[in-house]
Structure 1
Amino acid sequence: MAGLGLRKGEMLGLRVGDFLDDRVRLRRQVIRVKGAVLGPLKHRRKGVWRDIPLATHLSDAVGEHVARYGTGPDGALFQTMTGTLVATSNYSYAFRKVVNTLGYKWSPHDLRRWFASTALSNGLPLLDVSRWLGYKSITETADTYGHLTADATGRAVMVMDAALI
């Protein structure tokens, strides 16, 4: 989740075929808490997807996960012991149990926030980050994370100085 900025349901809906060379093509999410089922992405119609850059390290980790645990019959990366979809509530419970054992107070959504914060504070464009996160509008992303974007004043001065010479 941290390396892609995914929502819980989006991560639980991943399939091996979603991993392309340098990106993940996100196509579906787990949408019901009890009796999990797949559905369209938030703010998207059925059949519409979004692409998210895939770091090499994360791609390698997914390969290791598949080698160790295999996949479901439809290529699902995550499934229960009985081969069904993992409900978001069950994932949240397991996540909290692990991080509490480690002494942290993180929620699954904190990993999504980390992705956004890391991308924006390192100068990646707000519009791109907003699209990767699947926000309905860039305004929502700017309102939530705008304070993390690099101050462009110094760059603007250099650009204008160079252009006006």
Structure 2
Amino acid sequence: YLQAGAGLRISETLAFDSGCRRNEFIRVRWQVNAKGYRAGCKVRFIPLKHRCEGEYRDIPTAPFLEAEMAAHLADWGTASRGELMVYFTPRNGSNETMPTANTYAHHFSKALKRAGLVKADGTPKYTPHSLRHFFASTALANGIPIHEVSRWLGHKSIKTTVDIYGHLVPAAWDRCRAIMQKAMRPDSVMAPVVVAEQPGGHDAAA
């Protein structure tokens, strides 16, 4: 739910702690070290991707996500890992290792197979990263400005967001026509424009 409802990366989800929850938004501050599964690892949490120590990003949370976080806490509580009280970690006594993207992906794949969400060849249809894509594509397809989505995703540059998701932004051409028509001729009804391709690759409005 944190990935699908807030667009978190796997490593950020696994580092989610009680301090991340705020009033109607979450503050993402850490990601799990790729070596966090090692028993001797002393640095389990590292700065966010493309960010320096102490930097963070805020993401709005829908009511359903608030409810899911509350339900998770009621069922599982948190576990102490250094200075953080994390949501997701093995609960087996003295074991203080952290799950990683690889271990999460492994169990995610097994869950998809049990649920029958597989391709014709039996491989899973989705990956954990698909949940992050769901957040981004749903937000963009419903008109959320791409610069806001880019900020919530934590992309280094909005160009990254445009390159990956630009095709999902609702078509601007028709909206531009309608807006300009309303601004310049507010009392007239805009007739649909039919475009026919002419020989030689030229287009002509019919």
Q: Which runs of 4+ in 1 moved over 4 A?
A: none
Q: Compute the displacement of 1:3 (Å).
A: 0.8
Q: Does 1:80 align with 2:90?
A: yes
- 1:41 pairs with 2:61: no
Aligned counterpart in structure 1 of residue 71 of structure 2, from 64, 69, 73: 64
| TM-score, with length taken from structure 2 | 0.76
Aligned-residue CA RMSD (Å): 1.4
Structure 2 CA distance for aligned equivalents of residues 83 and 72 of structure 1:
9
Secondary structure of the equivalent of 1:145? helix
Which of 52, 59, 66 lines up with 1:52 in the alignment? Answer: 59
State the match for 1:116 in structure 2: 136
Measure how far apart 1:145 and its partner are. Answer: 0.6
> How high is the sequence identity, in percent, across the aligned residues?
40
Higher helix share: 1
User: Deviation per CA, 1:99-136, whole angstroms, max 9, x where unpaired?
Assistant: 11112221101111111111111111111111111111
Which residue of structure 2 lines up, in the alignment, with residue 17 of structure 1?
Answer: 19
The CA deviation string for residues 118-161 of structure 1, in whole angstroms up to 9 with x for no partner, is 11111111111111111111111101110000011222123222
Q: 1:53-92: per-residue Cα shift (whole Å, max 9, x none)?
A: 1111011111010011010123211111234322222111
Match runs of 1:124-163 below 5 Å: 124-163=144-183
Alignment coverage as a number of residue pairs: 165
Q: With a CA cutoff of 8 Å and minimum separation of 6, indicate the structure with the bigger relative contact order.
A: 1
Rounded Cα–Cα distance in structure 2 between residues aligned with 1:61 and 1:100: 24
Q: Secondary structure at the match of 2:6?
A: coil
CA 151–139 in structure 1, closer or farther in 2 if over 3 Å, else same: same
Q: Does the CA-based 8 Å contact 1:72-1:83 persist in structure 2?
A: no
Partner of 1:7: 9
**Are 1:102 and 2:115 counterparts?**
yes
Q: Contact 1:29/1:40 (CA < 8 Å) preserved in 2?
A: yes
**C-alpha distance in 1 between matches for 2:179 and 2:142:** 19
Which one has the bigger strand percentage?
2
Aligned-partner Cα distance in 2 for 1:85–1:66:
18
* SS of match in other structure, 1:159: helix
The 3-state SS of whatever aligns with 2:27 is: strand
The amino acid across from 1:28 in the alignment is W
